[in-house]
């Protein structure tokens, strides 16, 4: 075997190629900032040079605290090109949480957007770290003055980035990504999303969330244009969809519900491919967005799987189905993406459950698109991968056609009177009501039934639908024991990735009075 012809896989190679092949094509649009692929490549090398000049050595952790700007995008190349490890930090975290990440990751350097300098200052005050800091005010000037630098990857399983989980049940865990997994996931998503040089990708998904599902590298591999977006504003997004030729975007179902319900919602002048994940989408959302020209596809994954490990690949035959039936198929989590191993749904003994759409099991994943492990936490790493298969904690069924559908997170299953209630199933029924934008169902302790379901609902603007009407709506579609005993109308608290914060809703629900635990 001739071994010297082998090269290590790294997503950095996508930018090198695009800079050569698409040198003068537009690469990044960020407000008044514009650059071509040749300039993108050169600036990323200069960022690597700047970090090296400031003392960053291979293996050093570099935090980025910024919204979706060209600084955050260039850091996905410049930091690893300096040999550093990228730690993209959620801008919605508290100073205390950021202080923990600074200390746990051992960050020696921080790139920060000026908007978040006060947040970073408070975090540093509460930490034991004293990282060097460059703000966005000086960033462009310093990058322009730096000499290009590039540390080649010598092992594709080297640490590329650390992504911290939300940490709703304790300290966040640092999920370790390797170059190989990021390269393959980016390539797989370029394939599934059908991106090419005509692509204009709108950055509605935070880059700090699982490195933006690896799309900083996906869009570049395709030679498309990155349209940066500092924050989620439905009016701005609709303007981009109708005026800027946006062809692709990724967003949580919550963001898509905001778009569908916004006053500027209108049929797009061209088809737009939308990929949603982070929480199970409800079927009615697919119908509403499809009528607006947004072709929505569902992806599924976790921080531990580089983002989208599964995709609900639409079959051509589904086009002839009734719209409601087609929407139900599209809302499933689907099958492994093109670079992943086949996904398993297993019971408590580790055996595969039947493909009968009824037998419940846990989704288990392995392959090149699974993390190296949790940073500085071998015990937690072993716990989630006891036999070489990563246990996701999501309970699902497999349909006869092989497609997987989540019923709930293991911790979100409601056990009422010995019966299991899927909160997702109840949420899907609630959101099928025309006046409901979004719904989340949680459990409340009950002396009679053990647990009972309570629904939190966000109504459409101007809606007068009441609790009784929604309870009767669900009762007409589901078994009586699954019907929420209370419906609370409120805005749903969400994480930065659009997931309903059910831990907070459980706290709210526990303080409710007058829940009905009468016979069912």
Residues ≥6 apart with Cβ < 8 Å to 469: none
Helix H or strand E encompassing 487 = strand 486-489
pLDDT, tens only, 431-447: 999 899 999 999 888 87
What confidence score (pLDDT) does residue 168 get?
Answer: 46
Q: Is the pLDDT of residue 513 over 90?
A: no
DSSP 500: B
- Provide the pLDDT for residue 169: 47
Say what the pLDDT of residue 252 is. Answer: 86
pLDDT surpasses 90 at 283 = no
> Residue 413's pLDDT is what?
76
* Cα 426 from Cα 219, distance rounded (Å): 36
Residues, the chain: 520
Instruction: Determine what percent of the chain is predicted with pLDDT higher than 90.
Output: 75
- Report pLDDT digits (tens) over 33-42: 999 999 999 9
pLDDT digits (tens, 9 = 90+) for 53-77: 999 999 999 999 999 999 999 999 9
Specify the DSSP class assigned to residue 282: P
**d(Cα 361, Cα 350) in Å, to the nearest integer?**
9
Average pLDDT, rounded, for the chain: 92
Give the pLDDT of residue 418.
63
* Torsion angle defined by CA atoms of residues 275, 279, 282 and 288, in that order, rounded to the nearest 10 degrees: -40
Q: Which residues contact 133 (CB under 8 A, 6 or more apart)?
A: 109, 110, 112, 120
Q: Which domains can be identified in the chain, with CATH numbers?
A: 7-190 (3.40.50.12780), 232-409 (3.40.50.12780), 413-510 (3.30.300.30)
Digit-coded pLDDT (tens) for 138-185: 999 999 999 999 999 999 999 999 999 865 446 789 999 999 999 999
The lowest-confidence range among 174-183, 272-281, 494-503 is 494-503
- Residue 94 neighbours by CB under 8 Å, 6+ apart: none
Cα angle 161-154-72, degrees, rounded to a multiple of 5: 30
Chain segment 213-222, per-residue pLDDT in tens: 999 999 999 9
Q: Parallel, antiparallel, or unpaired: how do β-strands 294-302 and 272-276 relate? A: parallel
Task: Tell me the mean pLDDT in the region 276-283.
Answer: 82
Q: What Å distances lie between residue 461 and 160, 182, 218, 262, CA to CA?
A: 44, 41, 37, 9
Element (H, E) at 290: helix 283-290
């Amino acid at each position: 075997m001739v071994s010297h012809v082998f090269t290590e896989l790294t997503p950095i190679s996508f930018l090198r190629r695009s800079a050569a092949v698409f040198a003068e094509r537009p690469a990044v649009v960020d407000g008044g900032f514009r650059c071509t692929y040749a300039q993108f490549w050169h600036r990323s090398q200069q960022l690597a040079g700047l970090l090296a000049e400031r003392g960053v050595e291979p293996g050093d952790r570099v935090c980025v605290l910024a919204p979706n700007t060209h600084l955050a995008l260039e850091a996905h190349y410049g930091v690893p090109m300096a040999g550093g490890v990228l730690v993209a930090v959620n801008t919605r975290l508290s100073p205390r949480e950021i202080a923990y990440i600074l200390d746990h990751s051992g960050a020696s350097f921080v790139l920060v957007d000026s908007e978040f300098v006060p947040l970073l200052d408070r975090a540093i005050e509460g930490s034991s770290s004293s990282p060097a800091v460059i703000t966005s005010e000086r960033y462009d000037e310093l990058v322009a003055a730096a000499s290009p630098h590039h540390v080649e990857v010598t092992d594709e399983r080297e640490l590329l980035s650390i992504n911290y989980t939300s940490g709703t049940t304790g300290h966040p865990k640092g999920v370790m990504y390797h170059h190989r997994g990021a390269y393959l996931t980016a390539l797989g998503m370029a394939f599934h999303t059908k991106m090419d040089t005509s692509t204009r990708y709108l950055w509605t998904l935070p880059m700090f969330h699982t490195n933006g599902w690896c799309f900083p590298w996906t869009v570049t591999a395709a030679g498309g244009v990155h349209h940066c977006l500092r924050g989620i504003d439905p009016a701005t997004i609709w303007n981009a969809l109708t005026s800027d030729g946006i062809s692709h975007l990724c967003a949580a179902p919550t963001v898509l519900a905001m778009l569908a319900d916004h006053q500027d919602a209108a049929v797009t002048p061209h088809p737009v491919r939308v990929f949603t994940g982070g929480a199970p989408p409800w079927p009615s959302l697919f119908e509403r967005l499809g009528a607006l020209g947004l072709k929505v596809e569902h992806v599924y994954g976790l921080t531990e799987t580089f983002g989208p490990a599964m995709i609900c690949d639409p079959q051509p035959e589904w086009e002839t189905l009734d719209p409601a039936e087609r929407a139900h198929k599209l809302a499933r989590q689907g099958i492994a993406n093109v670079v992943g191993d086949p996904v398993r749904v297993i019971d408590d003994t580790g055996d595969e459950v039947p493909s009968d759409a009824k037998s419940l099991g846990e989704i288990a994943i392995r392959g090149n698109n699974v993390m190296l492990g949790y940073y500085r936490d071998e015990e937690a790493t072993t716990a989630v991968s006891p036999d070489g298969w990563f246990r996701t904690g999501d309970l699902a069924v497999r349909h006869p056609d092989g497609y997987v559908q989540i019923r709930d997170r293991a911790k979100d299953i409601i056990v009422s009177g010995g019966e299991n209630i899927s909160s997702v199933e109840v949420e899907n029924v609630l959101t099928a009501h025309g006046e409901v934008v979004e719904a989340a169902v949680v459990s409340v302790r009950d002396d009679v039934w053990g647990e009972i379901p309570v629904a939190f609902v966000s109504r459409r603007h101007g809606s007068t639908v009441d609790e009784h009407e929604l309870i009767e709506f669900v009762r007409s579609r589901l078994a009586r024991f699954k019907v929420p005993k209370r419906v609370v109308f409120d805005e749903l608290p969400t994480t930065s990735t659009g997931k309903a914060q059910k831990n907070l809703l459980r706290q709210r629900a526990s303080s409710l009075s007058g829940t009905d635990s009468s016979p069912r």
